[in-house]
Copies of this chain bind each other. A is one copy, B any other.
Amino acid sequence: MPVEVALARLLDMAAAAPILMREEAPLADCMGRVLAEPLVAMLDLPPWPNSAMDGYALRVADSKGQPLPVSQRIFAGQAPHPLEPGTCARIFTGAPLPAGADCVEMQENAIVHDDQRVSFSEPLANGQNIRPQGQETTVGETVLVAGTRLGPIELGLAASLGRASLKVIRRARVAVLSTGDELVEPGQPLGPGQIYNSNRRLLCSWLQRLGCEVIDAGILADDLEMTRAALTGLGNVDLILSTGGVSVGEADWLGHALREEGELALWKLAIKPGKPLTFGHYRGVPVLGLPGNPASTLVTFALLARPYLLRRQGVGDVTPLCFSMPAGFNWPRPGVRREYLRARIELGRVVLYPNQSSGVLRSAAWAEGLVEVREGTTVQEGDRVSFIPLSEVLG
Protein backbone atom coordinates (compact mmCIF):
# COMPACT_ATOMS: atom_id res chain seq x y z
CA MET A 1 0.00 0.00 0.00
CA PRO A 2 1.58 3.32 -1.05
CA VAL A 3 2.15 5.81 1.75
CA GLU A 4 -0.30 8.35 0.34
CA VAL A 5 -3.07 5.73 0.19
CA ALA A 6 -2.48 4.77 3.82
CA LEU A 7 -2.43 8.42 4.85
CA ALA A 8 -5.63 9.20 2.95
CA ARG A 9 -7.39 6.23 4.60
CA LEU A 10 -6.21 7.23 8.05
CA LEU A 11 -7.29 10.84 7.53
CA ASP A 12 -10.71 9.71 6.30
CA MET A 13 -11.12 7.58 9.39
CA ALA A 14 -9.95 10.44 11.57
CA ALA A 15 -12.40 12.84 9.97
CA ALA A 16 -15.18 10.29 10.57
CA ALA A 17 -14.31 10.06 14.29
CA PRO A 18 -13.63 13.65 15.33
CA ILE A 19 -13.11 14.55 18.96
CA LEU A 20 -16.06 16.82 19.52
CA MET A 21 -15.84 17.82 23.16
CA ARG A 22 -14.77 21.42 23.65
CA GLU A 23 -13.62 23.35 26.65
CA GLU A 24 -12.75 26.92 27.49
CA ALA A 25 -9.07 27.06 28.44
CA PRO A 26 -6.95 30.00 29.63
CA LEU A 27 -4.35 31.02 27.05
CA ALA A 28 -1.53 29.65 29.20
CA ASP A 29 -3.07 26.15 28.86
CA CYS A 30 -3.74 26.33 25.12
CA MET A 31 -0.26 25.62 23.73
CA GLY A 32 -0.37 22.96 21.03
CA ARG A 33 -4.13 22.64 21.27
CA VAL A 34 -6.72 23.13 18.55
CA LEU A 35 -9.15 26.02 18.26
CA ALA A 36 -12.75 24.77 18.39
CA GLU A 37 -14.43 27.87 16.94
CA PRO A 38 -13.24 30.77 14.80
CA LEU A 39 -11.39 33.56 16.58
CA VAL A 40 -13.34 36.65 15.56
CA ALA A 41 -12.06 40.15 16.25
CA MET A 42 -14.24 41.90 18.83
CA LEU A 43 -12.36 45.17 18.34
CA ASP A 44 -10.52 47.06 15.67
CA LEU A 45 -6.75 46.80 15.71
CA PRO A 46 -5.45 49.37 16.19
CA PRO A 47 -8.56 50.55 18.07
CA TRP A 48 -7.95 54.17 17.00
CA PRO A 49 -5.61 55.96 14.62
CA ASN A 50 -2.23 56.29 16.30
CA SER A 51 1.25 57.54 15.82
CA ALA A 52 3.88 55.30 14.24
CA MET A 53 6.67 57.59 15.49
CA ASP A 54 7.84 59.75 18.34
CA GLY A 55 7.12 63.27 17.00
CA TYR A 56 4.39 65.85 16.54
CA ALA A 57 0.78 65.52 15.43
CA LEU A 58 -0.73 68.40 13.48
CA ARG A 59 -3.01 69.45 10.66
CA VAL A 60 -1.11 69.67 7.37
CA ALA A 61 -3.07 72.83 6.54
CA ASP A 62 -1.82 74.57 9.71
CA SER A 63 1.85 74.25 8.78
CA LYS A 64 2.80 77.03 6.42
CA GLY A 65 6.40 77.32 7.63
CA GLN A 66 5.61 79.28 10.80
CA PRO A 67 6.34 77.70 14.21
CA LEU A 68 3.34 76.12 15.99
CA PRO A 69 2.79 76.09 19.72
CA VAL A 70 2.56 72.68 21.44
CA SER A 71 -0.93 72.44 22.91
CA GLN A 72 -0.73 68.97 24.53
CA ARG A 73 1.56 66.00 25.10
CA ILE A 74 0.15 62.55 24.32
CA PHE A 75 1.85 59.46 25.64
CA ALA A 76 0.81 55.95 24.69
CA GLY A 77 -2.04 54.95 26.99
CA GLN A 78 -3.51 58.45 27.22
CA ALA A 79 -6.72 59.79 25.76
CA PRO A 80 -5.96 62.97 23.80
CA HIS A 81 -8.04 66.15 23.61
CA PRO A 82 -9.09 67.31 20.16
CA LEU A 83 -6.24 69.24 18.56
CA GLU A 84 -6.62 73.01 18.96
CA PRO A 85 -6.47 74.65 15.52
CA GLY A 86 -3.14 76.27 14.78
CA THR A 87 -1.21 74.11 17.22
CA CYS A 88 0.62 70.83 17.24
CA ALA A 89 0.72 68.02 19.82
CA ARG A 90 3.80 66.27 21.09
CA ILE A 91 3.04 62.57 20.51
CA PHE A 92 4.82 59.28 21.17
CA THR A 93 4.79 55.97 19.32
CA GLY A 94 1.52 54.14 19.80
CA ALA A 95 -0.34 57.10 21.30
CA PRO A 96 -3.81 57.88 19.90
CA LEU A 97 -3.95 60.63 17.35
CA PRO A 98 -5.91 63.65 18.58
CA ALA A 99 -9.10 64.44 16.69
CA GLY A 100 -8.38 67.03 14.02
CA ALA A 101 -4.77 66.02 13.38
CA ASP A 102 -4.08 64.51 9.98
CA CYS A 103 -0.34 63.90 10.04
CA VAL A 104 2.57 63.07 12.34
CA GLU A 105 6.07 64.39 11.71
CA MET A 106 8.95 62.51 13.28
CA GLN A 107 10.92 64.41 15.91
CA GLU A 108 14.09 64.24 13.82
CA ASN A 109 12.46 66.64 11.32
CA ALA A 110 11.16 69.06 13.98
CA ILE A 111 12.91 72.27 15.09
CA VAL A 112 12.06 73.23 18.67
CA HIS A 113 12.54 76.98 19.11
CA ASP A 114 13.52 78.81 22.29
CA ASP A 115 9.88 79.69 22.97
CA GLN A 116 9.08 75.94 22.74
CA ARG A 117 7.18 76.41 19.51
CA VAL A 118 7.98 73.90 16.80
CA SER A 119 8.49 74.19 13.08
CA PHE A 120 9.03 71.47 10.53
CA SER A 121 11.83 71.23 8.01
CA GLU A 122 10.31 68.78 5.53
CA PRO A 123 7.11 68.82 3.47
CA LEU A 124 4.17 67.14 5.22
CA ALA A 125 1.70 64.72 3.69
CA ASN A 126 -1.80 63.89 4.81
CA GLY A 127 -1.80 60.65 6.81
CA GLN A 128 1.96 60.35 7.17
CA ASN A 129 3.21 58.29 10.11
CA ILE A 130 -0.37 57.52 11.12
CA ARG A 131 -1.55 53.96 11.59
CA PRO A 132 -5.23 54.08 10.70
CA GLN A 133 -7.85 52.51 12.96
CA GLY A 134 -8.54 48.90 11.96
CA GLN A 135 -5.52 48.75 9.66
CA GLU A 136 -4.74 45.23 10.83
CA THR A 137 -8.12 43.88 11.89
CA THR A 138 -11.65 45.21 12.07
CA VAL A 139 -14.50 44.09 14.30
CA GLY A 140 -16.14 40.92 13.00
CA GLU A 141 -13.22 39.66 10.96
CA THR A 142 -12.24 36.02 11.40
CA VAL A 143 -8.62 36.11 12.46
CA LEU A 144 -8.09 32.38 13.02
CA VAL A 145 -10.31 29.61 11.70
CA ALA A 146 -11.59 26.70 13.76
CA GLY A 147 -9.10 23.86 13.52
CA THR A 148 -6.06 26.11 13.90
CA ARG A 149 -3.28 24.70 16.07
CA LEU A 150 -2.32 27.16 18.77
CA GLY A 151 1.33 28.07 19.18
CA PRO A 152 3.01 31.13 20.67
CA ILE A 153 2.06 33.33 17.72
CA GLU A 154 -1.62 32.38 17.70
CA LEU A 155 -1.81 32.83 21.47
CA GLY A 156 -0.18 36.26 21.20
CA LEU A 157 -2.68 37.17 18.51
CA ALA A 158 -5.62 36.05 20.68
CA ALA A 159 -4.20 38.13 23.53
CA SER A 160 -3.95 41.19 21.26
CA LEU A 161 -7.69 40.83 20.68
CA GLY A 162 -8.35 40.79 24.40
CA ARG A 163 -9.02 37.07 24.76
CA ALA A 164 -7.90 35.61 28.09
CA SER A 165 -9.19 32.16 27.15
CA LEU A 166 -10.17 30.24 24.05
CA LYS A 167 -12.59 27.48 23.21
CA VAL A 168 -10.43 24.49 22.32
CA ILE A 169 -10.96 20.83 21.47
CA ARG A 170 -10.45 18.48 24.38
CA ARG A 171 -6.94 17.04 24.34
CA ALA A 172 -6.72 13.74 22.47
CA ARG A 173 -6.23 10.94 25.00
CA VAL A 174 -3.72 8.45 23.67
CA ALA A 175 -2.78 5.20 25.39
CA VAL A 176 0.78 4.16 24.60
CA LEU A 177 1.59 0.44 24.81
CA SER A 178 4.81 -1.32 24.08
CA THR A 179 4.82 -5.06 23.52
CA GLY A 180 7.52 -7.62 23.85
CA ASP A 181 9.02 -9.78 26.58
CA GLU A 182 12.42 -8.53 25.42
CA LEU A 183 11.69 -4.97 26.57
CA VAL A 184 12.97 -3.53 29.83
CA GLU A 185 12.46 0.02 31.07
CA PRO A 186 15.58 2.23 31.25
CA GLY A 187 17.23 2.21 34.65
CA GLN A 188 16.57 -1.51 35.18
CA PRO A 189 19.20 -4.22 34.71
CA LEU A 190 19.15 -5.95 31.37
CA GLY A 191 18.69 -9.73 31.38
CA PRO A 192 19.84 -12.11 28.63
CA GLY A 193 18.05 -11.41 25.36
CA GLN A 194 16.57 -8.16 26.64
CA ILE A 195 16.79 -4.61 25.29
CA TYR A 196 15.68 -1.25 26.60
CA ASN A 197 12.32 0.19 25.62
CA SER A 198 13.00 3.39 23.71
CA ASN A 199 9.69 3.79 21.91
CA ARG A 200 7.75 4.55 25.04
CA ARG A 201 9.89 7.60 25.78
CA LEU A 202 9.95 8.66 22.13
CA LEU A 203 6.19 8.49 21.77
CA CYS A 204 5.20 9.84 25.19
CA SER A 205 7.46 12.91 24.73
CA TRP A 206 6.26 13.45 21.20
CA LEU A 207 2.57 13.13 22.05
CA GLN A 208 3.00 15.65 24.85
CA ARG A 209 4.56 18.11 22.41
CA LEU A 210 1.54 17.58 20.18
CA GLY A 211 -0.76 18.59 23.02
CA CYS A 212 -2.11 15.08 23.68
CA GLU A 213 -2.92 13.60 27.04
CA VAL A 214 -0.78 10.48 27.34
CA ILE A 215 -1.91 7.36 29.15
CA ASP A 216 1.31 5.45 29.58
CA ALA A 217 0.32 1.79 29.67
CA GLY A 218 3.90 0.53 29.89
CA ILE A 219 5.14 -2.74 28.50
CA LEU A 220 2.65 -5.51 27.86
CA ALA A 221 3.82 -8.96 28.82
CA ASP A 222 3.82 -11.56 26.05
CA ASP A 223 0.80 -13.28 27.58
CA LEU A 224 -2.78 -13.27 26.35
CA GLU A 225 -4.46 -13.01 29.75
CA MET A 226 -2.34 -10.09 30.94
CA THR A 227 -2.74 -8.35 27.58
CA ARG A 228 -6.52 -8.61 27.91
CA ALA A 229 -6.38 -7.19 31.41
CA ALA A 230 -4.18 -4.28 30.33
CA LEU A 231 -6.50 -3.37 27.46
CA THR A 232 -9.54 -3.49 29.72
CA GLY A 233 -7.80 -1.18 32.18
CA LEU A 234 -7.15 1.59 29.66
CA GLY A 235 -10.44 3.34 30.26
CA ASN A 236 -11.79 5.96 27.96
CA VAL A 237 -9.18 6.86 25.36
CA ASP A 238 -9.29 8.23 21.81
CA LEU A 239 -6.53 6.05 20.44
CA ILE A 240 -4.57 2.98 21.48
CA LEU A 241 -1.09 3.41 20.04
CA SER A 242 1.12 0.37 20.21
CA THR A 243 4.61 -0.37 19.01
CA GLY A 244 5.89 -3.80 18.15
CA GLY A 245 3.85 -6.91 18.56
CA VAL A 246 0.88 -6.26 16.33
CA SER A 247 1.82 -8.45 13.44
CA VAL A 248 1.15 -11.93 12.16
CA GLY A 249 3.83 -13.39 14.43
CA GLU A 250 3.10 -16.42 16.57
CA ALA A 251 3.81 -14.48 19.77
CA ASP A 252 1.47 -11.63 18.94
CA TRP A 253 -0.78 -11.61 21.99
CA LEU A 254 -1.85 -8.01 21.49
CA GLY A 255 -3.10 -8.89 18.04
CA HIS A 256 -4.94 -11.92 19.44
CA ALA A 257 -6.56 -9.89 22.19
CA LEU A 258 -7.57 -7.08 19.85
CA ARG A 259 -9.09 -9.44 17.30
CA GLU A 260 -11.18 -11.08 20.02
CA GLU A 261 -13.10 -7.87 20.68
CA GLY A 262 -12.74 -5.88 17.52
CA GLU A 263 -11.10 -5.97 14.14
CA LEU A 264 -7.58 -5.39 13.04
CA ALA A 265 -6.18 -4.96 9.56
CA LEU A 266 -2.52 -5.41 8.71
CA TRP A 267 -1.36 -2.93 6.11
CA LYS A 268 1.81 -3.78 4.24
CA LEU A 269 3.02 -0.27 3.60
CA ALA A 270 5.41 0.54 0.78
CA ILE A 271 7.52 2.51 3.26
CA LYS A 272 11.02 2.00 4.60
CA PRO A 273 11.67 1.98 7.45
CA GLY A 274 8.29 0.91 8.74
CA LYS A 275 6.59 -1.71 6.56
CA PRO A 276 3.99 -3.33 8.83
CA LEU A 277 1.27 -1.05 10.17
CA THR A 278 -1.93 -2.21 11.77
CA PHE A 279 -5.16 -0.33 12.17
CA GLY A 280 -8.31 -1.51 13.83
CA HIS A 281 -10.73 -1.03 16.69
CA TYR A 282 -10.97 -2.48 20.17
CA ARG A 283 -14.40 -2.10 21.73
CA GLY A 284 -14.92 0.90 19.44
CA VAL A 285 -11.60 2.60 20.22
CA PRO A 286 -9.26 3.07 17.24
CA VAL A 287 -6.00 1.12 17.50
CA LEU A 288 -2.87 2.05 15.57
CA GLY A 289 0.02 -0.40 15.69
CA LEU A 290 3.39 0.97 14.65
CA PRO A 291 6.41 -1.22 13.89
CA GLY A 292 8.76 -1.65 16.83
CA ASN A 293 12.14 -0.71 15.40
CA PRO A 294 12.88 2.80 16.66
CA ALA A 295 13.50 4.42 13.29
CA SER A 296 10.39 2.70 11.91
CA THR A 297 8.35 3.96 14.84
CA LEU A 298 9.70 7.46 14.22
CA VAL A 299 8.92 7.53 10.50
CA THR A 300 5.45 6.00 10.76
CA PHE A 301 4.52 8.24 13.68
CA ALA A 302 5.74 11.35 11.85
CA LEU A 303 4.06 10.58 8.54
CA LEU A 304 0.92 8.71 9.60
CA ALA A 305 0.06 8.82 13.32
CA ARG A 306 0.74 12.54 13.78
CA PRO A 307 -1.52 13.71 10.96
CA TYR A 308 -4.16 11.19 12.05
CA LEU A 309 -4.17 12.59 15.59
CA LEU A 310 -4.26 16.20 14.41
CA ARG A 311 -7.15 15.45 12.06
CA ARG A 312 -9.07 13.75 14.89
CA GLN A 313 -8.89 17.15 16.61
CA GLY A 314 -10.17 18.92 13.51
CA VAL A 315 -6.90 20.34 12.15
CA GLY A 316 -7.26 21.09 8.45
CA ASP A 317 -3.69 21.31 7.25
CA VAL A 318 -1.74 18.36 8.59
CA THR A 319 0.97 18.26 5.92
CA PRO A 320 4.51 19.17 6.98
CA LEU A 321 6.47 21.60 4.82
CA CYS A 322 8.70 19.81 2.37
CA PHE A 323 11.57 21.39 0.46
CA SER A 324 13.15 20.48 -2.84
CA MET A 325 16.92 20.33 -2.27
CA PRO A 326 19.90 19.12 -4.29
CA ALA A 327 21.14 15.70 -3.23
CA GLY A 328 24.68 15.36 -1.98
CA PHE A 329 24.51 11.58 -2.30
CA ASN A 330 23.91 8.79 -4.80
CA TRP A 331 21.10 6.28 -4.44
CA PRO A 332 21.76 3.92 -7.29
CA ARG A 333 19.29 1.10 -6.60
CA PRO A 334 15.57 1.79 -6.96
CA GLY A 335 13.56 0.41 -4.04
CA VAL A 336 10.14 -1.21 -4.03
CA ARG A 337 9.20 0.85 -0.97
CA ARG A 338 9.35 4.60 -0.45
CA GLU A 339 12.40 5.35 1.66
CA TYR A 340 12.67 8.03 4.30
CA LEU A 341 16.36 8.54 4.89
CA ARG A 342 17.76 10.42 7.86
CA ALA A 343 19.58 13.40 6.40
CA ARG A 344 21.22 16.74 7.03
CA ILE A 345 21.88 19.80 4.98
CA GLU A 346 25.55 20.54 4.43
CA LEU A 347 26.69 23.33 2.10
CA GLY A 348 23.23 23.51 0.61
CA ARG A 349 23.04 19.79 -0.21
CA VAL A 350 21.29 16.92 1.47
CA VAL A 351 23.67 14.34 2.92
CA LEU A 352 22.76 11.01 4.48
CA TYR A 353 23.63 9.38 7.78
CA PRO A 354 25.92 6.51 6.80
CA ASN A 355 23.92 3.82 8.61
CA GLN A 356 20.27 3.91 7.58
CA SER A 357 19.23 0.75 9.41
CA SER A 358 16.10 0.95 11.47
CA GLY A 359 17.52 -0.34 14.74
CA VAL A 360 18.31 2.83 16.69
CA LEU A 361 17.49 6.49 16.78
CA ARG A 362 21.07 7.63 16.44
CA SER A 363 20.61 8.45 12.77
CA ALA A 364 17.54 10.53 13.60
CA ALA A 365 19.26 12.41 16.42
CA TRP A 366 22.02 13.33 13.97
CA ALA A 367 19.53 14.25 11.26
CA GLU A 368 17.86 17.58 10.53
CA GLY A 369 15.20 16.02 8.35
CA LEU A 370 13.93 13.12 6.32
CA VAL A 371 14.64 12.71 2.63
CA GLU A 372 11.95 11.02 0.62
CA VAL A 373 13.14 8.68 -2.13
CA ARG A 374 10.12 7.40 -4.02
CA GLU A 375 9.68 3.76 -4.92
CA GLY A 376 11.24 2.81 -8.23
CA THR A 377 13.48 5.85 -8.45
CA THR A 378 17.21 6.45 -8.14
CA VAL A 379 19.05 9.58 -7.09
CA GLN A 380 22.24 11.03 -8.51
CA GLU A 381 24.26 13.69 -6.78
CA GLY A 382 22.79 17.04 -7.75
CA ASP A 383 19.27 15.69 -8.41
CA ARG A 384 16.56 17.44 -6.45
CA VAL A 385 15.05 15.45 -3.58
CA SER A 386 12.25 16.19 -1.10
CA PHE A 387 13.43 17.13 2.37
CA ILE A 388 11.08 17.30 5.36
CA PRO A 389 12.64 19.19 8.31
CA LEU A 390 12.21 17.21 11.53
CA SER A 391 11.05 20.42 13.21
CA GLU A 392 7.99 20.28 10.95
CA VAL A 393 6.85 16.95 12.39
CA LEU A 394 8.15 17.06 15.95
CA GLY A 395 5.87 19.85 17.22
Q: Flag whether A180 is at the interface (Cβ < 8 A).
A: yes
Please, how many residues of chain A have a CB less than 8 angstroms from a CB on the other chain? Answer: 98
Chain A residues 156-209 with CB under 8 Å of chain B are: 156-165, 180-183, 185-188, 190-206, 208-209
A222 adjacent to B31 (CB under 8 Å): no
Contact A156 B205, CB 8 Å, known A144-B365, A182-B94? yes
Q: Flag whether A66 is at the interface (Cβ < 8 A).
A: no
Interface centre among A93, A193, A222 (most CB of B within 10 A): A193
A186 adjacent to B164 (CB under 8 Å): yes
CA distance A163 to B54 in the complex (A): 57
Q: Flag whether A47 is at the interface (Cβ < 8 A).
A: yes
Nearest B residue to A325 via CB reads: B323
Q: Flag whether A355 is at the interface (Cβ < 8 A).
A: yes
Q: Flag whether A390 is at the interface (Cβ < 8 A).
A: yes
Binds B, one of A74-82, A227-235, A257-265, A279-287: A74-82
Partner of A136, one of B31, B190, B360: B360
CA distance A157 to B160 in the complex (A): 40
Chain A residues 320-336 with CB under 8 Å of chain B are: 321, 323-325
Q: Flag whether A362 is at the interface (Cβ < 8 A).
A: yes
A159 adjacent to B181 (CB under 8 Å): no
Q: List B contacts of A194 (CB < 8 A).
A: 77
Contact A78 B181, CB 8 Å, known A160-B196, A205-B31? yes
Q: Flag A328-372 by CB within 8 Å of B: 1 or 0 each.
A: 000000000000000001001000000101011110110011000
Q: Flag whether A128 is at the interface (Cβ < 8 A).
A: no
Q: List B contacts of A164 (CB < 8 A).
A: 185-187
Contact A47 B361, CB 8 Å, known A200-B159, A325-B323? no
Q: Flag whether A67 is at the interface (Cβ < 8 A).
A: no
Chain A residues 32-63 with CB under 8 Å of chain B are: 43, 45-48, 54
Contact A137 B362, CB 8 Å, known A201-B156, A390-B153, A394-B151? yes
> How close is A80's CB to chain B, nearest CB, in angstroms?
7
> How close is A151's CB to chain B, nearest CB, in angstroms?
6
